[in-house]
C-alpha cells in the first residue's frame, strides 16, 4: 500500500508552500535534474550524434509512451510521445475524420479546453469540406449524439469545473451510432483511473506536465486503438513516422503501428525529464491515488463550505463525477486567489469567477488541505485582498 508521506519526498516542494496547482503544472520531481544532466553531459556531450542509438534517444517516444500507457489502461505499443497536446488533437481529429466517411459534424462540449476547439476550427478551415464544429453543454452531450455526427471529441475532465464524463458509456453510445471517439486526457492521466482498453475509444491524447509532473512544455501523447494503428491516417506525415526513416525515400510510407503518429525529431532532453518524472509512480497505483484524492477533496470541500459561505462549489458534489480538482465560484475570486498565493497557498483562477484547486495525493497531505482551507477562510472572511497589508505583500511577490 502506498505511503503518501514517502511519495511526497519524491518532489521538491518549496518550504512554506502548499501547492494546489498540480493540475496546471506539476512540481519538480527530485530525480529529473540528475537525468537531464546525464543526457546533456554524458549522452550529448560525449556521444554526440551517436547518442541517437547508443543512448536510446530514437526509441524514447515509444518507451516513454508505454510508461504513460500503463497509467491510462493502454497496452504496450499503443501510445507514443511527441509534440504538444494541441498538435496531437490535430493528428487524432484528422485521422478520425478520415474514418468517418461523409459525416461532417464534430461534436464537442462547451467545457472542452479551448485549444481543442481551436484546433478543430483550424482543421475545418483548412479542409474546406463543409465540416462543422457543434458544441453543446457537457450535460447535453449524450442526447446530442446522433447519426450525423462524425467525431465525438471531448476532454474527459473539465479544466474549469472538474466535471468528469462517463467515458465508457459515452464511447459505447457514440460508437453504436457510428461515431468515432477521441478523448483528451489532459486532466485524467495520473489523476483518475482510465481504462482505454475497456472503454474502447478510437483515439486518446493528453499532456504530461500536469498530474504526470513532466515539466513545463513536456511532450504530449497520442493513443490509437490497436486494431486501427495500421490504417489510421497520419496527416502530419513526418520522417520519424515513416516505415524506414533512414532510407530517405522520396515518398512517405507510414510505419506500422503507433510509430506512424510520430512526426519530427523528438525533444530528447524534455522527454528524458518526463521519463525520470514518471519514476514518482514507482510502487504507486492509480487506484490508491484516486481513493486518497477523493478523501482529500471531500475534506477540502467540507472545510471550505463550513467556513466560507460566500463560496459556491461548482465541481460536482459526487466524487465519482469529479476529476482530481475542486473549484469554487466566488465573486472576488481573482483578488482572493492572489492573496492566497501571496500566503503560499498556490491554486489558480479561471474567468469569470472560478478558484481552482488541484488535489494531488503524491505530494499533498490532509494537513496541507486543512491549512489551505484555513488560509482561504481567513482571506475570504476578512476580505484580506482589500487590505493595505495584502496589497503591500502582493506587490513584492
Site for its own copies in 81-140 (CB under 8 A): 82-87, 90, 94, 110, 113-115, 117-119, 121-123, 125-129, 135
Cβ 47 to its own copies shortest distance, Å: 9
- How far apart, in whole angstroms, are the C-alpha atoms of residue 206 and residue 52? 26
Active site residue 209: yes
- For 17, phi and psi rounded to 5 degrees? -105, 135
Q: Are 142 and 186 in contact (CB under 8 A)?
A: no
In the list 2, 24, 172, 312, the residue contacting its own copies (rule: CB under 8 A) is 24
Written as one string, the DSSP assignment of 221-277 is: EEEE-GGGTTT---SS--GGGBSSGGG--SS--BPSGGGGG--S---HHHHHHHHHH
Burial of 169 (0-12, 13-18, 19+ CB in 10 A): exposed
Residues 6+ apart with CB under 8 A from 223: 69, 72, 74, 78, 79, 196, 203, 204, 205, 258
Cβ 74 to its own copies shortest distance, Å: 21
In the list 9, 33, 132, 381, the residue contacting its own copies (rule: CB under 8 A) is 33
Q: Shortest CA distance to 150 belongs to which of 201, 96, 199? A: 96
Q: Which residue has the cell 482589500?
A: 386
Cβ 185 to its own copies shortest distance, Å: 15
Q: Are 329 and 351 in contact (CB under 8 A)?
A: no
Active site residue 184: yes
> Is 312 a binder of its own copies (CB under 8 A)?
no
At 339, list the grid cell. 492573496
Stretch that binds its own copies, among 217-225, 281-289, 327-335, 365-373 (CB under 8 A): 217-225
From first CA to last CA, the distance across the chain in angstroms is 39
Cβ 115 to its own copies shortest distance, Å: 4
Report the DSSP pairing between strands 325-329 and 312-313: antiparallel
For the segment 353-382, give every residue that binds its own copies (CB under 8 A).
none
- For 179, phi and psi rounded to 5 degrees? -95, 135
> Is 27 a binder of its own copies (CB under 8 A)?
yes
How far is residue 243 from each of residues 73, 128, 184, measured CA to CA in Å?
27, 30, 27
Catalytic residue among 4, 19, 159, 209: 209
DSSP letter, residue 42: I
Cβ 259 to its own copies shortest distance, Å: 14
For the segment 51-80, give every residue that binds its own copies (CB under 8 A).
51-52, 57
- How far apart, in whole angstroms, are the C-alpha atoms of residue 60 and residue 386? 51
Cβ 380 to its own copies shortest distance, Å: 21
231 labelled ligand-binding: no
- Comparing CB distances to its own copies, the nearer of 122 and 198 is 122
Catalytic residue among 163, 225, 260, 356: 356
> Is 221 a binder of its own copies (CB under 8 A)?
no
> Is 341 a binder of its own copies (CB under 8 A)?
yes
Catalytic residue among 19, 113, 223, 330: 113
Active site residue 98: no
Q: Are 380 and 305 in contact (CB under 8 A)?
A: no
184 labelled ligand-binding: yes
C-beta neighbour count of 350 within 10 angstroms: 16
Active site residue 356: yes
In the list 3, 50, 231, 285, the residue contacting its own copies (rule: CB under 8 A) is 50
209 labelled ligand-binding: yes
For the segment 280-299, give every residue that binds its own copies (CB under 8 A).
none
DSSP letter, residue 361: T
Residues 6+ apart with CB under 8 A from 47: 54, 55
Active site residue 391: no
Give the binding-site size for its own copies (rule: CB under 8 A).
Answer: 87
265 labelled ligand-binding: yes
Stretch that binds its own copies, among 210-218, 313-321, 368-376, 378-386 (CB under 8 A): 210-218
239 labelled ligand-binding: yes
Stretch that binds its own copies, among 20-28, 62-70, 301-309, 318-326 (CB under 8 A): 20-28
Q: Are 26 and 214 in contact (CB under 8 A)?
A: yes
- How far apart, in whole angstroms, are the C-alpha atoms of residue 69 and residue 189? 9
In the list 64, 167, 255, 271, the residue contacting its own copies (rule: CB under 8 A) is 271
Cβ 318 to its own copies shortest distance, Å: 25
For the segment 145-204, give every residue that binds its own copies (CB under 8 A).
none
Query: What residue numbers does the annotated binding site for pyridoxal 5'-phosphate cover?
Result: 85-86, 113-116, 155, 184, 187, 209, 239, 265
Catalytically active residues are 113, 184, 209-210, 356
Amino acid at each position: 500500500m502506498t505511503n503518501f508521506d514517502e511519495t511526497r519526498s519524491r518532489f521538491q516542494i518549496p518550504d512554506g508552500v502548499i501547492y494546489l496547482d498540480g493540475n496546471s503544472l506539476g512540481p519538480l520531481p527530485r530525480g529529473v535534474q540528475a537525468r537531464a544532466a546525464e543526457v546533456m553531459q554524458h549522452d550529448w556531450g560525449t556521444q554526440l550524434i551517436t547518442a541517437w542509438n547508443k543512448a536510446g534517444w530514437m526509441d524514447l517516444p515509444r518507451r516513454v509512451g508505454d510508461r504513460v500507457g500503463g497509467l491510462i489502461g493502454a497496452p504496450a505499443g499503443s501510445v507514443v510521445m511527441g509534440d504538444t497536446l494541441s498538435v496531437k488533437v490535430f493528428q487524432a481529429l484528422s485521422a478520425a475524420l478520415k474514418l468517418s466517411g461523409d459525416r461532417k459534424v464534430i461534436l464537442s462540449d462547451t467545457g472542452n479546453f479551448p485549444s481543442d476547439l481551436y484546433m478543430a476550427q483550424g482543421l475545418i478551415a483548412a479542409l474546406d469540406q463543409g465540416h462543422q464544429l457543434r458544441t453543446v453543454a457537457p450535460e447535453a452531450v449524450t442526447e446530442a449524439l446522433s447519426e450525423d455526427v462524425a467525431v465525438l471529441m471531448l476532454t474527459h475532465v473539465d479544466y474549469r469545473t472538474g466535471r468528469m464524463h462517463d467515458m465508457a458509456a459515452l464511447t459505447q453510445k457514440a460508437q453504436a451510432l457510428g461515431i468515432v471517439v477521441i478523448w483528451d486526457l489532459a486532466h485524467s492521466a495520473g489523476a483518475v483511473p482510465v481504462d482505454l482498453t475497456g472503454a474502447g475509444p478510437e483515439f486518446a491524447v493528453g499532456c504530461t506536465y500536469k498530474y504526470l509532473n513532466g515539466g513545463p512544455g513536456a511532450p504530449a501523447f497520442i493513443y490509437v486503438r490497436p486494431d486501427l494503428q495500421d490504417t489510421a491516417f497520419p496527416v502530419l506525415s513526418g520522417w520519424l513516422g515513416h516505415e524506414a526513416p533512414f532510407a530517405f525515400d522520396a515518398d512517405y510510407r507510414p510505419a506500422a503501428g503507433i510509430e506512424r503518429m510520430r512526426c519530427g525529431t523528438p525533444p530528447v532532453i524534455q522527454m528524458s525529464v518526463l521519463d525520470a518524472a514518471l519514476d514518482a509512480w514507482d510502487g504507486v497505483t492509480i487506484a490508491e491515488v484516486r481513493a486518497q484524492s477523493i478523501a482529500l477533496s471531500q475534506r477540502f470541500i467540507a472545510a471550505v463550505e463550513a467556513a466560507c459561505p460566500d463560496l459556491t462549489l461548482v465541481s460536482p458534489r459526487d466524487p465519482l463525477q469529479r476529476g482530481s480538482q475542486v473549484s469554487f465560484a466566488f465573486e472576488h475570486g481573482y483578488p482572493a486567489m492572489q492573496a492566497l498565493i501571496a500566503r503560499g497557498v498556490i491554486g489558480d483562477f479561471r474567468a469569470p469567477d472560478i478558484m481552482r484547486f488541484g488535489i494531488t495525493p503524491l505530494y499533498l497531505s490532509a494537513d496541507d488541505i486543512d491549512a489551505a482551507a484555513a488560509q482561504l477562510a481567513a482571506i475570504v472572511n476578512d476580505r484580506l485582498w482589500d487590505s493595505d497589508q495584502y496589497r503591500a505583500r502582493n506587490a513584492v511577490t
